[in-house]
Amino acid sequence: MTEKGLTEKIALVASMIARAERIVVFTGAGISTESGIPDFRSPGGIWTRFDPDDFTIQKFIASDETRRKQWKILVEEGLFRNIEPNRAHRAIAELEQMGRLDCIITQNIDDLHQKAGSSQDRVYELHGNMQWAKCLDCSSLFAMEAIREQLLNGKEIPLCKRCHGMLKPNVVFFGEQLPLNTIEAATCHAESCDLFIVVGSSLAVQPASFMPGYAKAAGASLVIVNMSPTPCDRLADVVITEMAGKIMPRIVTETKKLLKNLPC
């Protein structure tokens, strides 16, 4: 795409944001790869180095040895430690600060939207959050950093401090259902928005990939910013095939200019 064509698309998306009343942003792995987190399925991703079958909920619950192995992997990998949000995360947070954002629906488990300044109660995490461990018995949450310290000090299988129940990372394992309340809330927001913006998702993983369709079917405009084509490109009003960190700040800058010139 020429720079002129790209500039025109960015201006169009900015005008859509300026006019919209309820904007939902949907994010996937592509936004976080720019912060240095490899896509789990890409070369160098975790599933190229470890067997996904070792991360099933059934094995985790049934076997002490599996839990020991999974916790060891999580400690050695140091998943998401010292990872910082990038320009795309910050641009999306800025949309909220501008009063233009209803919510974020994300497939990511890295907490980077919150680190960038997005409000926790506006972020719907479809696959959980790696910063926390959850007790499967009493549902208590514990900071993953505290669990990490236990593991580094020789504790092979951490237990809940409150009820001594089984702890697991607060993310969705293979074979585990997505959190129903989160899915329902995200679907409601998708169906009631007037602008749905996809950032960094291939829209290949169900049921999360249904969200743009829900929004479009309800009458919303659809914008997709992603490095590769998606199955929903044919439904979109605007498709920008570029890096999120390059495009989202430009969109926000153009939106600010438009809002500044709008009559009160």
**pLDDT computed for residue 73 by the predictor:** 79
Fold exhibited by the domain 38-79+130-171: SIR2/SIRT2 'Small Domain' (3.30.1600)
Q: How many CB atoms lie within 10 A of CB 53?
A: 11
Task: Give yes or no for a contact between 118 and 125, defined as CB atoms under 8 angstroms apart.
Answer: no
Do the beta carbons of residue 238 and residue 199 sit within 8 Å? no
Distance separating alpha carbons of residues 45 and 239, to the nearest angstrom: 26
**CATH topology of 1-37+85-127+177-264 equal to that of 38-79+130-171?**
no
- Give residue 75's pLDDT: 73
Domain boundaries in the chain?
1-37+85-127+177-264, 38-79+130-171
Q: What is the radius of gyration, based on Cα positions, of the chain?
A: 20
At 37 the pLDDT is 82
Q: Which of 217, 249, 250, 253 is nearest to 235 (CA)?
A: 217
Point out the residues that are catalytic: 127
Tens-level pLDDT at each residue, the chain (264 residues): 788 999 999 999 999 999 999 999 999 999 999 998 876 555 555 555 566 677 789 999 998 988 998 888 777 766 656 789 999 999 999 999 999 999 999 999 999 999 999 999 999 999 999 899 999 999 999 999 889 888 888 899 999 999 999 999 999 988 899 999 999 999 999 999 999 999 999 998 888 889 999 999 999 999 999 999 999 999 999 999 999 999 999 999 999 999 987 765
How would you write the chain as a 3-class SS string?
CCHHHHHHHHHHHHHHHHHCCCEEEEECHHHHHHHCCCCCCCCCCHHHCCCHHHHEHHHHHHCHHHHHHHHHHHHHHCCCCCCCCCHHHHHHHHHHHCCCCCEEEECCCCCHHHHHCCCHHHEEECCEEEEEEEECCCCCEEEHHHHHHHHHCCCCCCECCCCCCEEEEEECCECCCCCHHHHHHHHHHHHHCCEEEEECCCCCCCCHHHHHHHHHHCCCEEEEECCCCCCCHHHCCEEECCCHHHHHHHHHHHHHHHHHHCCC
104 forms bridges with which residues in the sheet? 25, 123
pTM over 0.85: yes
Query: What per-residue confidence (pLDDT) applies to 77?
Result: 66
Topology given in CATH for the domain delimited by 1-37+85-127+177-264 = Rossmann fold (3.40.50)
If one counts every other C-beta atom within 10 angstroms of the C-beta of residue 121, the result is: 7
